[in-house]
Structures are given as C-alpha cells and as structure tokens.
A and B are shown apart, each in its own frame.
Chain A
Amino acid sequence: MTEFLMNHMMVKVRGVDKIFKRGSEVIHVLGGLDLSIPKGEFLALMGPSGSGKSTLLNLIGGLDRPSEGTLEIGGKRIDRLSERKLAAWRARHVGLVFQFYNLMPVLSAQKNVELPLLLTKLSRAERKKRAAIALDIVGLSHRAGHYPRQLSGGEQQRTGIARAIVTDPTLLLCDEPTGDLDRKSGDEILDLLQALNKEQGKTIIMVTHDIHAAARASRTLYLNKGQLSTEAVD
C-alpha cells in the first residue's frame, strides 16, 4: 500500500494476539493478526462460530485489550489505554450495534438513543434534538415515545443503530446486526447501514454469518484459526 493510503487508514491492527485463560486452559483466539481498513470502507467479517470474530471486533472497539500487538484506530493507539481512558475513547469514537439490540427496557426509544449523549456536556435540549435527528435518520421518528417491548425486532435494531450514530462516530461496529431478524427486517437494516456508509461516510465493520448480508459490504474477510484471509476456508 502506498504511504498516502496508509495515512487514510481508519483501522490498523498489527501482530495482534489474543489469549484467553480459563482456569489452567489457555485459548489462543487470535495469533499475529494484521488488518488495515481504510476510511469509509464497509467491511464484512465472516468465519465459523468461535473463530474470534467478536473478539476481534471487541479489540477494535476498545472493549478489550490485546495480549500482544498494536491497534491504531483513527490515528490513535488504543492497545495500552487504561480502562478509564478506553471508556472515554469508546464513548466518543465508536458506535456499537448488538445482535440482541441491548436497549434499556425502562427507557423509551428516544431516551435509549439519548443515552450516549449523557456522557457529553450537551444541554438537555441539544441532546433531545440530536436524538430526534438520529431517530429520523433510521426512520423511527413516529416511534420515539415507544418502549422497546412495544417495538418489533427490526424497529429495536434501528433504535440500536440510532443510538450508535447519535454521537456521530466515524466507526460503526456491528456484531451480527441481522442475526436475530427475519429476511425483510434484516434487509432494511442492511439498507440503512449501506446508506450510512455511502451517504455519511461511516466506516463500518460488520460481523455476519449471512452471505447475503456480507454481499452488501464493499469487502469481505474470513477469520479462521486466528488469521484473516480473503477466501473462505473450510
């Protein structure tokens, strides 16, 4: 890759190992993994269950730290940050979308979306306004006052996406965002992610088991035995 492209990398993963210890058992999940993702890319990450897709996504999102190697996200080294600094960094720079939405059942859609803004110095009115904009982007303005249990799976996931983009992060990390949805709702979510990628230039990494979902991305990588490849191996 050229020097120019290197500087436009959103994600730079170099020689990352991740080891989990469970009692005396040591699990090598990632081994010497390298990955570069340019700004504005929509990357699909596939691979067998247990291959470490979520683990890799957690490392990139600053939810966990590597056992070995470096991670540079948006020009910042995050592999040696303290818990506290990582938490603050996450709040500002990444949007997380979960398979099971992870909404707060006692909060309305609007309040759920506002949640990450509580970590900023924005005024109440400003928070409200931004949450409304995010809900509008995902097409859920008419459901703002509803509680998660009153929303369909697809609507809950759109709320989840609104929550992920409300702080305007450049990087969106989605772990099986359509994994719990039927085809139609899943397609709507993928449309939405594609639009966020094309129109707003969000860099997106999406873990998926679904080949149709992966087809929406600009590139697909396969994780197997702790390494990435461009081809599926079985």
Chain B
Amino acid sequence: MFNWVSQIFAVTSFSMRSLPQRKGSSAAAMLGIAGVVAVMVGVLSIAQGVLKTMESSVGDSNAIVLRSGADSEMMSGLSGDDTRIIAEAPGIARDANGAVASPELFVIVNLPARSTGTDVNVPLRGVQAPAMTVRDSFKLVEGRMFEWGLNEVIVGVGAHQQFSGLEIGSSMEVGKEKWPVVGVFEAGGGMAESEIWVDAAVLQPAFRRGNSYQAVYIKLDSNESFDEFKDTLTSDPRLNVKPMLESEYYDSQSSVIFNMITGLGRIIAVIMGLGAVFGALNTMYTAVSSRNREIATLRALGFRAGPVVISVVCESLLLAFVGGLIGAGLAWLAFDGYRAATLNWASFSAITFAFDVNVKLLVDGIVFAMIIGLLGGLFPAIRAARQPVAQALRGL
C-alpha cells in the first residue's frame, strides 16, 4: 500500500513536471474541453433562466381559476358572471377594495423584436385593479399607471427591452386605433414582465370579447384555504371551473419549455462532448506515446502499471478540470443575466427571461469536463499499461 501511494505520487509528480514540455497539445485539449463546457452551460442556462421566470411568477398562496378542461389561460374562457361568483368564494384574501380576485383576459398582438426585427407574439392583457394586488411584486418603475377606461397601456420591463415601439410616449397600433404607452412596470421577474397591460373594459370591446374573461387570479388567506376554496368552486352547480395553486399551474406550464431546452442543451453538449472526448483521447494518446520510453523505463525499474495508469488519468483530469473551469467561467461572463426572449410553448406567446448561469450549472459543466478527461486519459493509459514491459522497452 505504502508502495502504491508513493509510486502514484512519484510518477504523477514528474508527469506533471513534463507538462510544460507538452504545452501545445495540453492547451489544445484544454481549450477543446473549455469550448464544450461553455456551450453546454450557455444552453442550459437558458432553461434555468426560463424556469426562474416561471418560478418568479408564482405568488405566495396564489391560485388561478380556469375553465375546467383548459390546460392554459390561452384555452380558457369565463363569463363575467363566472368571475363574480368565483370572487365570492371563501378563503380569498380581502383588502380595502374587497376580495383580492383579479379577472383577466388576454389577446396576442404582433410586435417586432428589437434584436431581429421579426414579428413576435406578445400578450396584451386586460386587467382590473386587483391585478396589481394579486401580484405582490408589481411596481411601476417609469411613467404612470394607465387611466381606467382609456385606451392607454403599461408595459412589462422585459417587453419594454425586447420589443420595439414600446417606449413611453409612443403608441402601439391596435386595429385602427393607436394606444399610447404611458408606463413601465416590474413584476418580480415573473411572466407578467413580458406582457402589455390595459384596462380589461377597454380590451373587451376592442377585440369583441363581450363581457368575457379567461382566468381569475386569486390571493388566498393562506395556502390552507385552498382546499375549501377549491371545493366550493368545484361543487357549485353554476360553475364549470378548475382552480389550481399557481405553483402547480406554472409547473405544468414550464415543464414543456424547460424539458425542450434542457433536452436540446444536453444533445448539443453530448455531440460536442463526443468531439471533445476524441480530441482529448487523441491528445492523451500522443502525450502518453511521447512518454512511452519513460513509462517503459519506470516499469523496468520495478514501478507497477497501476500507478502509471493513475498518473496519466490524473494528468488528463487536471487538464479537463482547468478546461472546464475556463469554459464555465466564459459561459458565466458571456451569458449570465443576458436578457432574451423565447416562445412560451404553452401559450405560443413570447416570454422574456435572463440567461441564468447558476452554481449548479457551473458545477455540472466542470463535472462534465472531468468525465471527458477521465475517458480521454483512461484508454491510452490502460493501453500503455497493458503492454508487456519488454515490448514497451523496445519501443514497439
């Protein structure tokens, strides 16, 4: 045992010392791995960013009521009477203006994306006053609130950044009318930040929606009130609705897009990873064969093959670790917080988000790099170690 450890230590220490003599190939292997990790972390950070947006949309003890059978707000429809009955259910938080229940509807409008100039589907949401109390983190950051009853709009910060024509003072075209933009709001990083808001009473006639809505957003007394709230609504013969906690709702909404992006990211990473594995394999083969005589000599002197394998693997792990670190660092510098918009597959409208390069992703990237390094080092090392000593000494 003593022997083994000291052999590993000895062999590894001089294989490390010979690294500077193999600068070129070592750097190539390292950069290859860095590239793969940067791309992988970059792509996966999109998924993380979208997930974060979805999660930020979830209010504490908030619920959403859709028509039963509707999987998303898009597919739902509720009459004005429905929304009044829903607002009377027990378990809803109350403030000075009564129950905190916000009936809302939305339509999709086309706006050019700032980056590409192509048209993107953007949600235009009709709201009533409780919309701002239901979303705890709602805050006007620029301009003013629209006047109730007027065709003025306020826009979320995400939408404001990503789409053109939404500056305060400009107006958006809705049918034959022009609706002025009067304010910009935040909503704690949630989905609402990708939207444009207007008075529901203005939106309904403009899009011939009569007195209909699509969802009612609810703030509950507490999470415990949800069961009672839900039972009351589902057992009411006048209603045909599906109440959900917001956390459940956004989970179901985000899984599609999250899985899609994550899946895509993984596929790209695996394909590039294979390339990098072959690159690393090639480098390590060259590195190992350039040291064949050294390795053979060590073994002739009585060093065992095991420590030689371990030392080669250590070297390749070290290169991979540094490469992974560089790649993860690059991804973090380049992508973290970078804002972009993507299609929300659940509603076919755009949601804006920020790339989220978090610690978990960085660790994943480095682990992935180490796996590449392990494979890249292990095969040539085993090959070198399996060669009979006498044959290795002949340089065969």
Q: How far is the CA of A92 from the CA of B298 in the complex (A)?
A: 14
B297 in contact with A87 (CB, 8 Å): no
Determine which of A102, A106, A118, A121 lies in contact with B297 in the assembled complex, contact meaning CB atoms within 8 Å.
A102
Q: What B residues does A92 contact at CB under 8 A?
A: 302
1/0 contact string of A95-108 vs chain B (CB within 8 Å): 01010101011110
A106 in contact with B21 (CB, 8 Å): yes
The answer, yes or no, to whether A68 is at the interface (CB within 8 Å) is: no
A87 in contact with B299 (CB, 8 Å): yes
CB B279 to nearest CB in A, in angstroms, measures 25
The answer, yes or no, to whether A180 is at the interface (CB within 8 Å) is: no
The answer, yes or no, to whether A90 is at the interface (CB within 8 Å) is: yes
With A63-B300, A64-B388 known as contacts, the answer to whether A119 contacts B17 (CB < 8 A) is no
Q: How far is the CA of A104 from the CA of B293 in the complex (A)?
A: 9
Kindly identify, within residues 156 to 176 of chain A, every residue whose CB is under 8 Å from any CB belonging to chain B: 163
Determine which of A55, A87, A100, A121 lies in contact with B304 in the assembled complex, contact meaning CB atoms within 8 Å.
A87
A119 in contact with B2 (CB, 8 Å): no
Q: What B residues does A88 contact at CB under 8 A?
A: 302
Q: B3-11, B130-138, B354-362, B368-376: which lies at the A interface?
A: B3-11
Q: What B residues does A90 contact at CB under 8 A?
A: 300-302
1/0 contact string of A26-49 vs chain B (CB within 8 Å): 000000000000000000000000
The total number of A-B Cβ pairs within 8 Å is: 62
With A58-B390, A64-B388, A96-B300 known as contacts, the answer to whether A105 contacts B2 (CB < 8 A) is no
The answer, yes or no, to whether A142 is at the interface (CB within 8 Å) is: no
Q: How far is the CA of A63 from the CA of B3 in the complex (A)?
A: 20
Q: How far is the CA of A188 from the CA of B299 in the complex (A)?
A: 28
Residue on A with the closest CB to B392? Answer: A63
CB A145 to nearest CB in B, in angstroms, measures 15
With A102-B293, A102-B297, A106-B17 known as contacts, the answer to whether A116 contacts B302 (CB < 8 A) is yes
The answer, yes or no, to whether B303 is at the interface (CB within 8 Å) is: yes
CB B395 to nearest CB in A, in angstroms, measures 10
Q: How far is the CA of A84 from the CA of B17 in the complex (A)?
A: 27
B3 in contact with A119 (CB, 8 Å): yes
A119 in contact with B294 (CB, 8 Å): no
Q: How far is the CA of A121 from the CA of B4 in the complex (A)?
A: 12
The answer, yes or no, to whether A140 is at the interface (CB within 8 Å) is: no
With A104-B297, A118-B6 known as contacts, the answer to whether A63 contacts B14 (CB < 8 A) is no
The answer, yes or no, to whether B389 is at the interface (CB within 8 Å) is: yes
Q: How far is the CA of A154 from the CA of B366 in the complex (A)?
A: 48
A87 in contact with B303 (CB, 8 Å): yes
Q: How far is the CA of A118 from the CA of B303 in the complex (A)?
A: 9
Residue on A with the closest CB to B301? Answer: A116
The answer, yes or no, to whether B259 is at the interface (CB within 8 Å) is: no
Q: What B residues does A118 contact at CB under 8 A?
A: 6-7, 10
Residue on A with the closest CB to B15? Answer: A106
Q: What A residues does B21 contact at CB under 8 A?
A: 105-106
The answer, yes or no, to whether A91 is at the interface (CB within 8 Å) is: yes
The answer, yes or no, to whether B393 is at the interface (CB within 8 Å) is: yes
A-B pairs with beta carbons under 8 Å apart, 26 shown:
A55-B390, A58-B393, A63-B300, A63-B389, A64-B390, A84-B304, A87-B304, A88-B302, A90-B300, A90-B301, A91-B301, A91-B302, A96-B300, A102-B296, A102-B300, A104-B14, A104-B297, A105-B21, A106-B21, A115-B10, A115-B298, A115-B301, A116-B302, A118-B6, A119-B301, A119-B302
Q: A104-B14, A105-B294, A115-B301 known; 20 other A-B pairs, CB under 8 Å?
A: A55-B390, A63-B390, A84-B304, A87-B304, A88-B302, A90-B301, A90-B302, A91-B302, A100-B293, A105-B18, A106-B14, A106-B21, A107-B14, A116-B302, A118-B6, A118-B10, A119-B6, A119-B7, A119-B301, A163-B301
